[in-house]
Structure 1
């Protein structure tokens, strides 16, 4: 369970960096940072401080990030590389949040 928590925190941090780079130079960069980069960072802090619901909310938010990235990848070929990075990271976040439950359910029976 410790490994999945660290992987989840790393993926959340990478997603925040991706969004910061993605929107760099945008006219409303500060607003983009507040909307897209701040939530993964706050969830990362919650995960690292072992907040009980942080991983759950990271998984829920990853569904939004996934949907947003798919929409951008489909609609804007110029931003598709960033969007594909967001797709991969959001899927990784969902897997990292679910991994402890998968391990408990399908792990070795003692």
Structure 2
């Protein structure tokens, strides 16, 4: 497993744990687990199973996690710590999921042999 995939897996696992702990006592516990925790776990399984699209979808869904974290950080000061952790983990997911493509895009072109 590459460094980027390892970081992606750790960040997704961290998000799943964060959401499970954060929404532990919520009155809509099942809904929060289905909306927040389950996607992180399914994407983690996809990354570990080396599914080609798992990284892409992790990055896409991390944009929603990032937006949620920003909204909560600004609107609910009591939950700001969890929200900032969500923001940081979402940024890590976005960076780790984008890293292979960025490396390929900006690597030096190899000379073709003829």
Match of 2:90 in 1: 90
Structure 1 segment 15-94 matched on structure 2, within 5 A: 15-94=15-94
* 1:35 Cα deviation from its structure 2 partner: 1.1
Between Structure 1 and Structure 2, how many residues are aligned? 110
1:3 — aligned with what?
3
Gaps of 5+ in 2: none
How far apart are residue 77 of structure 1 and its match? Answer: 0.2
CA-based RMSD of the aligned residues comes to 1.3
Q: CA deviation at 1:7?
A: 0.9
What stretches of structure 1 of length at least 5 have no aligned partner? none
Q: What secondary structure sits across from 1:96 in the alignment?
A: helix
Structure 1 runs (4+) deviating above 4 angstroms are none
Q: Note the C-alpha offset of 1:109.
A: 4.5
Partners of 2:76 and 2:29 in 1: CA distance? 19
How far apart, in 2, do the equivalents of 1:61 and 1:75 lie? 21
Q: Tell me the TM-score normalized by structure 2.
A: 0.91
Give the CA deviation at 1:105: 2.1
Instruction: Give the alignment's TM-score, normalised by structure 1.
Output: 0.94
